[in-house]
Each structure stands twice: as C-alpha cells, then as structure tokens.
Chains A and B, each alone.
Chain A
Amino acid sequence: MRAVVDSKPAVACPVPDSQDLVSIREAQRGSSTAFEALVERYHARIYNFIWQFVRNQHDAEDLTQDTFVKAYRAIARFDLRYSFTTWLFTIARRSAINHYRRTVTTEELDADLATETDDPAQSAGLNDRAHTIWQTASRLLKPKQYEALWLTYGEGFSNAESARIMRTNPIYVKVLLHRGREVLKRKLMQSETL
C-alpha cells in the first residue's frame, strides 16, 4: 500500500531537534536502524494520541504501527525545514480518521451502548478529578474540540502546529479551544471544581 503523505506542511513549524535531525537524515538514506530511534522516541506519544480517537488498545496499536510504516515509506520526501513531530502526528491523525470511517458503521451500536452504560466514576461526579476532566471533555465536547484541546494541552503543540495536524487554520483552532474551554468551565463551575 502506498503511503499518501504530504511532505511539505503549509505552515512553518519548529525544525526537528539535532537528535531527531541525525536520525531523520540517516533514515532518509535508507537506514532502518536510524528510524528505530525515532520509533523508540515517538511511539508512545503517537499511540496515546491515536488512543484518544479509537479508545481501544488493539486498534490503537495497529494504527500506531501503520503510522510508522507509512512514515518510513514517506520519510524520503520529508522536508527537514519543518517539524517531524507535526508531520508524524498528521499521518497518525489521518490513519485514525480512516480507521474511524471504516469502522463507524459497525461500531455505532457499540458506541451508543457504551455511552449508555453507567460508569461509577462518572456518576460519582468529579471526585476523581485526575480522570474525569478528560473523560468529561470526551463526553461533552465535539470531536474536533476535544482533538484541539488534546493537541494543545495533552501534547503541548502550539495553535499553528495543531492547525497543521488538523489540516485547518490556527484561527479555527483558537475558536475550537475557546468553545471547548467554555463548555468545560461551565461544567466544572456547576460542580464547583474550579
């Protein structure tokens, strides 16, 4: 399967650090050992990001693997002036979305059932705050709002980088963040957590 990945981001992002740069250059020359270093460094983050979409360990692992295989095949076209992380997350996001499109018809019912189940942690309000802030976010927010929040606060990307990953513009990311925060603030103020 041919990886369809753009090598030139529309928005300039921070360049890869020196450690990444060496590995990327060697991987571009065909060194799989150099690529292993990148896998070691990023696989947990990519897995975590994909897990936010699929919420399933097996699918998240499959898609993480798929992301790195695609990245390895397309790394020769990667432009070193741009951020490797952003590029990798863009591939991961696309893999997750493609997976979602494939499985949405079969898993709609399961998802509906899952939302109807009575989760004791959720029904207990916001006592266990360590988990419930993101659980609340995933329950209340629209997928794009959640994604923008996760990229910003979970992964630490700037608005420009998040926009690049989400294939949109930074202003829209800002709007998504604002709306997401407002929903969460209202919810948390209701439960007097803030």
Chain B
Amino acid sequence: MILCWLNELFGTKGSGPLSATLRKHTESCAACRHSARNTTALENLLMKDSQTFAARPSPFLQRRIIDSVQNPGSVPKAALTLQTLLFRLAGPVSACALLALVLFGLSQKNNVNSRQPDPVKLTMLPPVQLPIIPSIKIKVEDPLTIEMQSLVADSMNAARSLAANFLPANLEP
C-alpha cells in the first residue's frame, strides 16, 4: 500500500464531510481514498450492527421503574440497600467496638488491682501441702556470733562515751 502523510488524518476524521482540500487530495491519492473508504465502511457497519446487537429489556422493567419512582421504598434492591446500610452503620459500629474495648481493658485493669481472695472459694480449695524446709538454727556457742555480739556491745559503749563528752547535758540520752 502506498503511504501518505495525510492518511492518519482520514483515520482520525471519521465519517463526516471532507473539506474541499481533502476531497481533492483523495481524488489523486489512492492510499487516502482507501483509508477514507475503510473508515466509512466500518462506521456504517458499527451503526447498522448496533441495532441488532442491542439488548432488549424485559417487558416488566418499565412497570418496575415506575413503581420504584412512585414508591421508592417498595422495590428494595438487596445489594444497594445492604451497602448503604453498611456504610451508614460503619461509623457507629466502630465507635461502639472501640468503647467496648476500652471498657473491657479498664475492667481488666481494675480486676488485677483489686483482686481479693474470695473467702468462699478459699474454703473450697484443698489444703496446700508445703514442702518441709529444714530450718537453720544459729547456735549461741558459735564463735562468730559471740564475736559479733562483743563488737556490737563495744560500738554501743563508744557511742555512749562520745555522746557524754560532746553533746550538751539536756540532749544527753
């Protein structure tokens, strides 16, 4: 096919009257003539076939539309109603859920803080068997203990003597 720089122009133009310049050009240019003819043929085909391709509504549709216009609430549409309902309820439901979570959290916190043993439940509990731990007995005869006791006594005496020497008489212990 012979290429022409005006060929694209015929493609974009679509059906419609050509200008005098373009009409004159098509007389001499086979490529543009071919392009213009193809475009026109395609457009005719599209227009003609749109009639046969058209979908036909059911005979009850008109009545249904009129009913819904006269009584908007009488013909519910499940999808739209549900969507609208969800949209409208989304805010309050979220707020309620948040409030419930906060209240639940607060109640849990209070329970932890003020948890008291339930006397009724305690009486029902079996007695706890504690393991027997051997007690550590300190013997008085232990030399380390005796030494500690003497050290403590010495410290007390030193403190008393210091107090007697340096403190005023009325503050003396």
A binds B: yes
Chain A interfacial positions (CB closer than 8 Å to B): 1, 32, 35-36, 39-40, 43-44, 47-48, 51-52, 57, 60-62, 64-66, 68-69, 72, 102, 129-131, 133-135, 137, 149-150, 153-154, 174-175, 177-178, 181-182, 184-185, 188-189, 193-194
In the bound complex, how far is the Cα of B54 from the Cα of A149, in angstroms? 14
19 more contacts with CB within 8 A, not counting A178-B14, A185-B11, A185-B38, are A32-B70, A35-B69, A39-B62, A47-B57, A52-B55, A60-B57, A61-B61, A69-B68, A69-B72, A102-B83, A130-B52, A133-B46, A133-B49, A149-B46, A153-B43, A153-B46, A154-B54, A181-B42, A184-B46
Given A51, A65, A154, A174, which contacts B50 in the complex, CB threshold below 8 Å?
A154
CA of A44 to CA of B4, assembled, Å? 44
Q: Are A194 and B42 in contact (CB under 8 A)?
A: yes
List of 10 A-B pairs having minimum Cβ-Cβ separation, nearest first: A154-B50, A153-B46, A51-B55, A47-B57, A134-B53, A130-B52, A178-B12, A133-B49, A68-B65, A72-B69
Interface of B toward A, CB cutoff 8 Å: 11-12, 14, 38-39, 41-43, 45-47, 49-50, 52-58, 61-62, 64-66, 68-70, 72, 75, 77, 79-80, 83-84
A174 and B69 alpha carbons, distance in the complex (Å): 36
Knowing A65-B77, A69-B72, A181-B14 touch, does A129 contact B45 (C-beta < 8 A)? yes
**Is B12 within 8 A of A150, CB to CB?**
no
**B68 is contacted by which of A44, A68, A149 (Cβ under 8 Å)?**
A68
Check A57 against B66 for contact (C-beta < 8 Å): no
Q: Is the interface of A mostly helix, strand, loop or mixed?
A: helix
Q: How far, in whole Å, are A174 and B12 apart by their CA atoms in the complex?
A: 7
Q: Is the CB of B42 within 8 A of A188?
A: yes
Taking the closest CB of chain A, its distance from the CB of B118, in whole angstroms, is 52
Q: Quick check: A130 and B57 within 8 Å, CB to CB?
A: no
For residue A130, which residues in chain B have a CB less than 8 angstroms away from its CB? 49, 52-53
Q: What residues on B are CB-neighbors of A64 within 8 Å?
A: 57, 61, 65
Residues of A within 8 A of B83 (CB): 102
CA distance A111 to B62 in the complex (A): 29
Alpha-carbon distance A194/B40, docked complex (angstroms): 10
A48–B42 touching, CB < 8 Å: no
User: What are the residues of chain A within 8 A of B42 when measuring CB–CB?
Assistant: 181, 184-185, 188, 194
Residues of chain A contacted by B52 (CB below 8 angstroms): 130-131
Can you identify 15 A-B contacts, CB atoms within 8 angstroms?
A: A36-B69, A47-B55, A47-B57, A48-B54, A48-B57, A61-B64, A65-B68, A68-B68, A131-B49, A131-B52, A174-B12, A175-B12, A178-B11, A184-B46, A185-B38
